[in-house]
Amino acid sequence: MKWGVVTFPGSCDDRDAVHVLRHDLGHEAVALWHKDADLHGVDCVVLPGGFSYGDYLRCGAIARFSPVMRAITEFAAQGGYVLGICNGFQVLCEAGLLPGALVRNRSLRFVCRPVHLRVESVANPFTQLAVPGDVWSIPVKHGEGCYVADAHTLDQLERDGSILLRYCRSDGTRDRHGDVAAADYNPNGSLRDIAGIMNATRNVFGLMPHPEHAADRELGSCELPRCSADGLKIFQSIADWVAETRERASAGSLR
Amino acid sequence: MDAATHRPDVTLQTAREHGLTDEEYDRLCTRLGRTPTWEELGVATVMWSEHCSYKSSRVHLRRLPTEGERVLQGPGENAGAISIGDGLAVVFKIESHNHPSYIEPYQGAATGVGGILRDVFTMGARPIASLNSLRFGSFDHPKTRYLLGGVVAGIGGYGNSIGVATVGGDVYFDPGYDRNCLVNAFTLGVVEESRLMLARASGVGNPVILIGSRTGRDGIHGASLLASAEFDATSEEKRPTVQVGDPFTEKLLLEATLEIQARDLAVAVQDLGAAGLTSSSVEMASRGGLGIELDLDRVPLRESGMTAYEIMLSESQERMLVVAPPGNVAAIEEICRRWDLEAAVVARLTADGVYRVRHRGVEVIAVPVDLLADPPALTRPIAEPAEGAGGPEFTVDDIAEPRDYQQAFRTLVASPNLCSRRWIWQQYDHYVGAGTVVHPGADAAVVQIVGTESKIAMTVDCNSRFVALDPYVGASIAVCEAARNLIATGAVPLGVSDCLNFGSPERAEVMWQFQQAVNGIRDACLAFHIPVVSGNVSFYNETEGVAIPPTPTIAMVGLVRTPEPITPWFKSPGDAIFLLGRSRDELAGSEFAAVVHGKTHGSPPWVDFDAERQLHQVILRAGEKGILASAHDVSDGGLALAVAEACCSVPTGVPPLGARIRLDEGMRPDAWLFAESQARMLVSVKREHGGALRDIATEAGVPIALVGEVGASMLEFDDLIAIPVGELRALWEGALEQWLEKK
């Protein structure tokens, strides 16, 4: 399994993502420079958190024009796997690889805290290690994480099972008051409590929470009784799916 | 005559307008043997300003202990460096950005963060954690909310963007800061010992490269006019002296600088801070004992028509100076290009010890480097206040017990200085870097150096009310408290960086406070064997003759020794709660006396360095045995607040635990609950470990008392106070936001 983690000017969590992939998963992880259109044969591209291009114009608006993004768009069109975290999610929406947009948090303030997420759907490369209804704990840290899209798009996402993660309470419950999200468990006001979505062809996943910051049980002991390693499940899901797909392909080619 | 060559004549009057004293101007003329040029006047003024030269503080700072076997670099460089073993060093410093933050809170705070980050990575250390220490006026003052909101947004806006975790700090509100807020920013970075980079120019003929942002007109005279003078009615006009920060460029600059150093391309690196190009080039040349020749035509500019004066004094942010052998220039330029940064050779090192600057074919400055870098230290007059700093004595007999303890307790828990700061630190990214082990909200933050087992603890402390009452004692208490906060996480203190915030040094009573505070820091640091490796002095924190309370902020760094870091909150119902240390009925200077009785006079609590050291031994020994479920320093608000915090400071999403506490019958209840006696720690242990803890305490000579047990859903102090712990937590955590929204 080979991962590529993109570094845009201003990316902050790229190093953390590489560290988790190498140290906690034991996989090969290479850095992908934004000016370089070569993806070095990776199986999955990670677009990390941070403030690419200083969030100038809009978050992710400039990153999507970089040479590496052109290569990634092509890669995704061919079925390559792409994981966009926080700023990475913003870049994917700006690039049109995912529908909708991320706008300023309802509170108008940057928020950094662990949140609870309900896993809605598992028949996909990104959450297959979970069971529907599982509640994960992963930190968010963003000022522009409020997911919005028109009602038609939102309904389509629901129908397609493309909403993979929603903000929820520790017991997995949510309020069902139309599109106005409750503040206590939803940190940014995202419509329908959406925290992470994938595309229609099920190979591109964007989420606002940071799985790379919930991947090591030893860290973060002040924020959670025993730090959650729920984030690791996302990376492991992808790795397992890639391995299974490769097995199926080689099994197929033997016939 | 076009703007770029505007060079007025220099007279004594011009010098006075710049802020030079007559003696200083005379010294300049005598040493040069002529009238200085306009540009020479400009650079001499900033270099001799209080902010850059430390002329009023140097004679006192000399008394601070700065040596120790782990010290790799003490004061005098961009930051201090301490060895932590395994070939690694931590590099850290705390710095003030007070005056700019009062004028323009967002940018003032943001550029304060930017400046201290550069001080750390200029030495080759990747920053991994930041703290900040803030002081604002009372919530009744119309500007406080505006300043708090702006400063917090600025710290977050800059710190989050650059990707360095902001893991802690402290905030206090006091009317003494109504017209002078304080913003002290701290950063710590990590570097291999052998790769620690100093800013000592070397190699005659070596080129000096300016990298980073282009130079504009922002911040000119920020050092001399803003940081070295008090505020008055015209202070708003000083807004152009506040610098404007760009964290995105700083992030690129950080990566480029570290890459240049990692590839061994540079001989010396120095960041540009106060007084911009002038101070950094002068300081670097001075440390290396060399001269330097600058050509301002080579400086990349952001605006047209800039004069030599403006280029020399601009405080445009996100710039560094790199000295390198000529053969490395191309490689350095290539790195900068890749990171989309400017790079230009703007100077050359010379052997004659002269600071020369050329602009448009004219030599505008030619002065000896040491004349600029080494102004004479001043021995300012000192006068102890006649009636004693603390005013009339204040004892428990001067007040009546509260009629309603419950109400007094609730008031304190929700008061501005004691309530939870969660509203603030949830605006800071404390996860980036994947190393944070103990997040904001504990006694100290703990960050693990990724790839190692080393866990670094850090805290910042100063109770300025105690310092105002008795500067010597109060300053030593700041050191004691910082040490206790590190010990409470299981860490051994390694080093201090101090940020000394005071009023005008031209006033003898302020200099007395300064002298006493330095002595207090000295004695405490000597007692604990903790060297001061870096620091900062900020004078002139006063407006129209009214100074801030003396605020010698202590940042302290330690290394966790216990197998796991210890945290302050109770862990399990049934655990036994012990109080270590001796309680006295000393309420003077306490939050209780101030908030409930409106009394802020008297003597600060008794300090006993031996008692502190003995307490350290107990916590570390018990921690190493793994028997401490929790440990929490007892400080502001006294024991009652320490218990409340131990109940409520649980991590997000974890239910708080209650407790039942039995008061000591030998003391008046309000004294026992709210006195801020020093050298005390609130700990909890599993019942079966109580005996072992008692043995350790007795052996070390530390008083120990079983004061209660961790309960289920209520916090109770005998029958005086009973509150459901969920309600307590909501009260404590919601108070700051309520204060901010109050009309």
The residue extents of the domains of chain A are 2-254
Q: What is the mean pLDDT of residues B274-282?
A: 93
Q: What is the pLDDT of residues B139-158, one digit of tens each?
A: 989 999 999 999 999 999 99
Cβ contacts of B339 on chain A, cutoff 8 Å: 9
Q: What is the pLDDT of residue B2?
A: 46
Distance between B632 CA and the closest CA of chain A, angstroms: 14
Residues of A in contact with B437 (CB under 8 A): 218-222
Residues of B in contact with A137 (CB under 8 A): 653
For residues B77 and A228, give the distance between their C-alpha atoms in angstroms, rounded to a whole number.
41
pLDDT score recorded for residue B712: 80
Report how far residue A2's alpha carbon sits from residue A21's, in angstroms, rounded to the nearest whole number: 9
**What is the pLDDT at residue B8?**
86
Alpha carbon of B712: minimum distance to chain A alpha carbons (Å): 17
Cα-based distances in Å from B348 to A13, B200, B351, B428: 38, 14, 10, 41
pLDDT at A150: 96
Give the pLDDT of residue A219: 59
Torsion angle in degrees (nearest 10) through CA of B350, B354, B359, B360:
-70
Nearest CA in chain A to B563: A218
B34-64 pLDDT, tens digit each? 999 999 999 999 999 998 999 999 999 999 9
Residue B737 has pLDDT above 80, yes or no: yes
The active-site residue out of A94, A212, A213, A227 is A212
The answer, yes or no, to whether residue B219 has pLDDT greater than 80, is no
Binary contact (B653, A213; C-beta < 8 A): no
Q: What is residue B638's predicted lDDT score, i.e. its pLDDT?
A: 98
Contact yes or no for B564 and A12 at CB 8 A: no
Q: Please report the pLDDT score of residue A175 as a whole number.
A: 85
Classify A2-254 by CATH class: alpha beta
Rounded Cα–Cα distance for residues B255 and B278 (Å): 24
pLDDT score for A226: 44
Residues of B in CB contact (< 8 Å) with A are: 156-157, 160-163, 246-249, 251-252, 338-340, 425-442, 448, 450, 564-565, 567, 651-654
Contacts of A219 in chain B (CB under 8 A): 434-437, 448
Tally: H helices and E strands in chain B: 24, 28
Contact criterion met (CB < 8 Å) for B651 and A223 = yes
Instruction: Give the pLDDT confidence of B288-300 residue by residue, as tens digits.
Output: 999 999 999 999 9
Interchain CB distance below 8 Å, A10 and B252: yes
Q: What is the pLDDT of residue B11?
A: 92
Judged by CB atoms closer than 8 Å, whether chains meet at B160 and A110 is answered as yes
- Looking at the predicted structure, is the pLDDT value of residue A180 above 80? no
Test B163 with A112 for CB contact under 8 angstroms.
Answer: no
Closest-approach residue (CA) in chain B for A213: B434
Q: Please report residues of A whose CB lies closer than 8 A to that of B429.
A: 12, 110, 112, 141
CB within 8 Å: A12 and B654: no
pLDDT at A57: 74
Give catalytic residue positions of B.
Answer: 51, 97
Smallest CA–CA separation between A12 and chain B, in Å? 5
Residue of A nearest to B155 (CA): A110
Q: Closest Cα of chain A to B153: distance in Å?
A: 8
pLDDT in tens, B237-277: 665 667 888 999 999 999 999 999 999 999 999 999 888 99
- Of A34, A116, A142, A210, which is the active-site residue? A210
Q: How confident is the model at residue B447 (pLDDT cuts 50, 70, 90)?
A: very high
Q: What is the pLDDT of residue B105?
A: 96
pLDDT of residue A221: 44
Residue type, B224: S
A chain contacts of residue B162, beta-carbon cutoff 8 Å: 12
Among the listed residues A86, A146, A168, A227, the single catalytic one is A86
pLDDT-derived band at A62 (thresholds 50, 70, 90) equals confident
Mean pLDDT taken over chain B: 94
Distance CA A192, CA A185 (A): 12
Residue B655: list chain A partners with CB under 8 A. none
A158 annotated active-site? no
pLDDT above 70 for A104:
yes
What is the spatial distance between Cα A85 and Cα A207, in angstroms, rounded to a whole number? 5
- Chain A and chain B share a number of CB contacts under 8 A equal to 113
pLDDT at A223: 55
**Residue B169: is its pLDDT beyond 80?**
yes
CB B566 within 8 A of CB B630: yes
- Out of B340, B442, B653, the one facing A222 most closely (by C-beta) is B442
Mean pLDDT of B448-462: 95
Mean pLDDT is lowest, of A179-193, A222-236, B179-193, B600-614, for A222-236
pLDDT confidence bin for A177, thresholds 50/70/90 = low
Please tell me which of the candidates B247, B427, B651 has its beta carbon nearest to residue A225. B651
CA atoms within 13 A on the CB side of B356: 17
Q: In this complex, which of A12, A112, A222 lies closest to B428 when CB atoms are compared?
A: A112
* A242 or B273, which is more confident: A242
d(CA B471, CA B550): 7
Confidence of residue B226 (pLDDT cuts 50, 70, 90): low
Residue of A nearest to B440 (CA): A222
Contact B160 A56 (CB under 8 A): no
pLDDT at A12 over 80: yes
Angle at A162 between CA A157 and CA A168, to 5 degrees: 95
Nearest to B429 by CA among B439, B443, B444, B415: B439
Asked whether the predicted pLDDT for residue A239 surpasses 90, the reply is yes
Answer whether residue B597 shows pLDDT above 80: yes
Nearby residues of B734 by Cβ (< 8 Å), 6 or more positions away: none
The pair of structure tokens assigned to B731 is: 């009260």
Q: What is the pLDDT of residues B617-674, one digit of tens each?
A: 999 999 999 999 999 999 999 999 999 999 999 987 788 999 999 999 999 999 999 9
B435-460 mean pLDDT: 94
Q: Which residues of B touch A12 (CB under 8 A)?
A: 161-163, 251, 429, 432
* Chain B residues near residue A9 by CB distance under 8 angstroms: 248, 251-252, 339-340
A120 is catalytic: no
pLDDT, average across residues B325-335: 97
Beta strand B80-85 with B71-73 is antiparallel
Facing residue for A219 by CB, picked from B252, B428, B437: B437
Q: Which of B565, B484, B576 is nearest to A222 (CA)?
A: B565
Taking an 8 Å cut-off on Cβ atoms, the answer to whether A12 and B251 are in contact is yes
Q: How far are the Cα atoms of A46, A72, B549, B729 from residue A69, in angstroms, in the given order?
A: 11, 5, 54, 47
Chain B: residue whose CA lies nearest to A17: B434
Q: What is the pLDDT of residues B498-518, one digit of tens each?
A: 999 999 999 999 999 999 999
d(CA B224, CA B15): 13
Parallel, antiparallel or unpaired: strands B630-633 and A194-198: unpaired
Give the pLDDT score at B1. Answer: 38
Which residue is associated with the tokens 């009784």? A225
Asked whether the beta carbons of residue A221 and residue B565 sit closer than 8 angstroms, the reply is: yes
- Shortest Cα–Cα distance, B340 to chain A (Å): 9
Q: Distance (Å) from the C-alpha of residue B99 to the closest C-alpha of chain A?
A: 25
pLDDT computed for residue B741 by the predictor: 82
Question: Which of B162, B249, B434 is nearest residue A16 as measured by Cβ atoms?
Answer: B434
Calculate the alpha carbon distances from B200 to A127, B269, B525 in Å. 54, 8, 28
CA distances in angstroms from B615 to A131, B60, B151, B445, listed in the order given:
50, 30, 36, 20
Chain B nearest CA to A48, separation (Å): 11
Cα dihedral B331, B337, B343, B345 in deg (nearest 10): 40
Going by pLDDT thresholds of 50, 70 and 90, the confidence category of residue B281 is very high
pLDDT at A153 over 70: yes
CB contact under 8 A, B434 and A50: no
- Of the residues B422, B432, B566, the best mutation for testing chain A's interface (the one with the most A CB atoms within 10 Å of its CB) is B432
Q: Name the average pLDDT for chain A.
A: 90
Q: Please say if the pLDDT value at position B372 is more than 70.
A: yes
Is 70 exceeded by the pLDDT of residue B86?
A: yes
Q: What is the pLDDT of residue B237?
A: 62
Task: Report the residue from A12, A110, A222 with minimal CB separation from B432.
Answer: A12
Q: How many CB atoms lie within 10 A of CB B393?
A: 11
Residue with tokens 């807004």: B239
pLDDT more than 90, % of chain A: 73
The tens digit of pLDDT for each residue in A201-213 reads 999 999 999 999 9
Q: What is the pLDDT of residues B668-706, one digit of tens each?
A: 999 999 999 999 999 999 999 999 999 999 999 999 999
Q: What percent of chain B has pLDDT over 90?
A: 88
Confidence bin at B578 (pLDDT 50/70/90): very high
